[in-house]
Structure 1
């Protein structure tokens, strides 16, 4: 991991970073920073030990922002870490500090409270990303309004609306990380940030929703998570809280009644993308749109009405192709003149979906929903309700491991469900044991080791 710290000639709030730099961090100055940044072709970290941008890296407005060496560095995958005063407020020209902010802002958002010399808020608090980074939030002087390209680290909620105090701005393959928007700067924490950023995985936070007041789960990266736990421990609630990030409120109301009596909140960080929703019985506010497919296994029939009919018709070729990977005897899936879903087999057998065995019917419905909605997140409640034969279940797991999604979460009470998946020994799979707001995460190998002497459903009861 390549890490450098820029130490200029002008005083700033972060000078201490340059007075005692770490041995493993390369110190660069006004001139050498250009050579260092030009030599980095991928992921590397540039920490600013002074909160003044050098003109050698940012010749704006002489050249466009995206053509400056600093932004080209981020475009290639580099990460800039900035603490102290407002980014790009001042520029250094070989030791001379000049104002820059009134000449143009390189970001598609801007800080508020810029000219005030006092905090906008005495208190900020971590987002789920801040929790993952183990950040220590302080007062907030120069927060920004939420923006789709921003990942909040800490936020201000005492304002009439949420503001981002510290944040990550995704740019190209890299990022610009803003820390400590106040005179307080923890110079011991900042050098540890490259390692923390590199190890970010998946974070989930559920607040004020059913049994969860402030429930946080932080995981390494995975594709499929299997949630295990006793009845009424909150497995389905976790899925529904995440499902609210997409447009699933009507489905949840249908099967669970009232969504929330108060204002609930879900945060999800996955695949370096941040999602947030706050919701109540009558109102839903999402930070961004994401396709989330929530499936209750006891009711997953696709209702073909006028609204979904065009999508069903356009998806049948792809549905047939995917089903054929499970059963080569399937020739085609089609709609009858009465809009009934039917399957034509190679031997000319023509069967209505309602005449198929329940496992086959579940598979067809799932694939149809997957093709129609093209979800980034898939949530399956009680997978055993699909009624798959063990061989079909194993094939289904292979399918889930191959499809292009960010996250799949499955709840189950079946030992077969988790045992067969563990046998895949995939590093894309984790098993999440839940018990009374506590959780434990196991790999496939750890699950297989435990299976010799204990059922995981009982292991979950021991978590404290």
Structure 2
């Protein structure tokens, strides 16, 4: 992105999860170490531990917990910035989809998804939002964007459908929209 590449991201929180593979079979060791975590995180770590011809592949990061090289669990801090543009602490984790408004930019780009599930808090003009809503839930107060565009270096990170994609038609539509956005930004 810094040199002009673009990322079109469909679905949930960018960088919330990361997958790692190691040569040996460490599934039991990982499951033993995640036992002490709260249920939500325990489930997220164990959902994707796969033994295959490459060894064991697993999520090594789930929000603010990380499995280290020695397979111990460590807390990595709530306000973790990724790629110097996304602070996971500014994301609201809603339990149900909520209605969102499509912004003027979203309307110009013919963006039509009107729901949010994992919006990011709007801070100044860092994000060009395609959807937005004012939230007043106990854990999230203020203005949030579900779909957004962020300039990173000479490229762009484009987040679409934060409430998830449900079918291949929606994926096709999102790719076309992402390419339209990239074309517009290059002009």
- TM above 0.5: yes
Question: What aligned pairs does 1:185-196 form with structure 2 within 5 A after superposition?
Answer: 185=166, 186-196=170-180
Q: 1:195 to 1:112 in 2, by over 3 A?
A: closer
Match of 1:144 among 120, 124, 139: 120
Distance in 2, Cα, partners of 1:108 & 1:184: 21
Matching residue of 1:155: 132
1 CA distance for matches of 2:182 and 2:120? 24
Q: Which has the higher helix share?
A: 1
**Aligned counterpart in structure 1 of residue 95 of structure 2, from 110, 117, 120:** 117
Give the TM-score, by structure 2 length: 0.58
Alignment of 1:99-118 (within 5 A): 99-102=61-64, 103=76, 104-106=80-82, 107-110=85-88, 111-114=90-93, 116-118=94-96
Greater radius of gyration (CA): 1
Distance 1:187 1:153 in 2: 17
Change (3 A) 1:198 1:113: closer
Q: 1:149 deviation in Å?
A: 1.6
Aligned to 1:367: none
Aligned mates of 1:79, 1:90 — CA distance in 2: 20
2:160 matches 1:179: yes
Which residue pairs with 2:39 in the alignment?
Answer: none
**C-alpha contact 1:153 1:164 (8 A) present in aligned 2:** yes
Q: Show CA shifts across 1:187-241 (max 9, x none).
A: 121220343113437xxxxxxxxxxxxxxxxxxx7xxxxxxxxxxxxxxxxxxxx
How far apart are the structure 1 equivalents of 2:142 and 2:62? Answer: 29
Where structure 2 has 5 or more consecutive residues not aligned to the other structure, the ranges are 22-56, 65-75
CA offset at residue 100 of structure 1? 4.0
CA distance in 2, matches of 1:166, 1:194: 11
Runs of 4+ that moved beyond 6 A: none
Q: In angstroms, what is the RMSD of aligned CA positions?
A: 2.4
What is the CA-CA distance between 1:76 and the residue it aligns to?
A: 0.3
Distance 1:91 1:158, change over 3 A: closer
Whose RCO is larger (CA < 8 A, sep 6+)?
2
Q: What is the CA–CA distance in structure 2 between the aligned matches of 1:140 and 1:123, rounded to whole Å? A: 6
**What's 1:98 paired with?**
60
1:15-414 to structure 2, matched below 5 A, reads 74-94=1-21, 95-102=57-64, 103=76, 104-106=80-82, 107-110=85-88, 111-114=90-93, 116-119=94-97, 122-147=98-123, 148-157=125-134, 159=136, 161-185=142-166, 186-200=170-184
How many Å apart are 1:117 and its aligned residue? Answer: 3.0
Distance 1:190 1:108, change over 3 A: closer
Deviations 1:416-462 (A, max 9, x none): xxxxxxxxxxxxxxxxxxxxxxxxxxxxxxxxxxxxxxxxxxxxxxx
Residues 160-211 of structure 1: per-residue CA shift (max 9 Å, x gap):
643211111111001111111113452121220343113437xxxxxxxxxx
Partner of 2:172, secondary structure, is coil
State the alpha-carbon separation in 2 of the partners of residues 175 and 161 from structure 1.
25
C-alpha separation in 1, matches of 2:151 and 2:59: 27
Cα distance between partner residues in 2 of 1:198 and 1:81: 9
Cα contact 1:132–1:200 (8 A) shared by 2: no
Q: Counting strand residues as a fraction of each chain, which structure ranks higher?
A: 2
Distance 2:81 2:61 in 1: 12
- Secondary structure class of the residue paired with 1:187: helix
Aligned residues, how many? 126
Give unpaired runs (5+ residues) of structure 1: 1-73, 202-220, 222-464
8 A Cα contact 2:111 2:177, kept in partner? no
TM-score normalised by structure 1 residue count: 0.25
